[in-house]
Amino acid sequence: MKRPPSRPVSDSKVEMTELVLPNDTNRLGNLLGGRLMQWIDIAAAIAASRHTHRVCVTASVDELNFHHPIHTGEVVRLQASVNRVFRTSLEIGVRITKENLLSGERTHTNTAFLTFVSIDESGKPVPAIPVRPVTQDEKRRYRDAARRRERRLLHRRQV
């Protein structure tokens, strides 16, 4: 089967919804950061694999800032998609929104950027199919991903 020259961003889109239960929270009733990071990693991994049709592994997670606490009983919505493909790596963006089901209020709480690597059956990196941004927002995220990659590479050389 011949592989397509590129795939649209829309092919990789993932939306996950999680209800925050007491077991997901700290003593203050706020969602544990590690639990949110787990959900982010899962959503991003699905988006990467949906795009590549391969196993993709997490290579890095950019800085993650918690702008608003997420409380017990709230719903967390994670929206993930491929921002850009380099050679074997892909940048995945994840937008996190909380929703209070009683009031209907929704608040953007986090944005995360993760780098995944597409691998073959023996665990070796393989080239990933390029992504094709279509909408203005997808094109902006595509451009921004190149700048973030340059910062990541610069940081890696400095460390």
CA distances from 98 to 5, 10, 38, 72, 76 (A): 36, 23, 16, 11, 5
Q: How far apart are CA 90 and CA 47, in angstroms?
A: 10
Going by C-beta distance under 8 Å and a sequence separation of 6 or more, which residues neighbour residue 104?
A: none
> What's the confidence (pLDDT) of residue 142?
97
Q: Which backbone phi and psi does 36 adopt, to 5 degrees? A: -60, -40
Q: How far apart are CA 23 and CA 6, in angstroms?
A: 42
**pLDDT exceeds 60 at position 2:** no
Q: Does CATH place domain 7-158 in 3.10.129.10?
A: yes
**pLDDT exceeds 60 at position 52:** yes
Averaged pLDDT for residues 96-104 = 97
What are the boundaries of each domain within the chain?
Answer: 7-158
pTM of the model: 0.92
Structure tokens at 136: 């203005």
Q: How far apart are CA 98 and CA 81, in angstroms?
A: 18
Averaged pLDDT for residues 143-152 = 93
Concatenated DSSP letters of 82-142: EEEE-SSEEEEEEEEEEE-TTT--EEEEEEEEEEEEEE-TTS-B-PPPPEE--SHHHHHHH
**pLDDT exceeds 80 at position 4:** no
Averaged pLDDT for residues 61-84 = 95
> Percentage of the chain with pLDDT > 90?
87
> What's the confidence (pLDDT) of residue 5?
86
Residue 3 pLDDT level (bands cut at 50, 70, 90)? low
Averaged pLDDT for residues 119-148 = 96
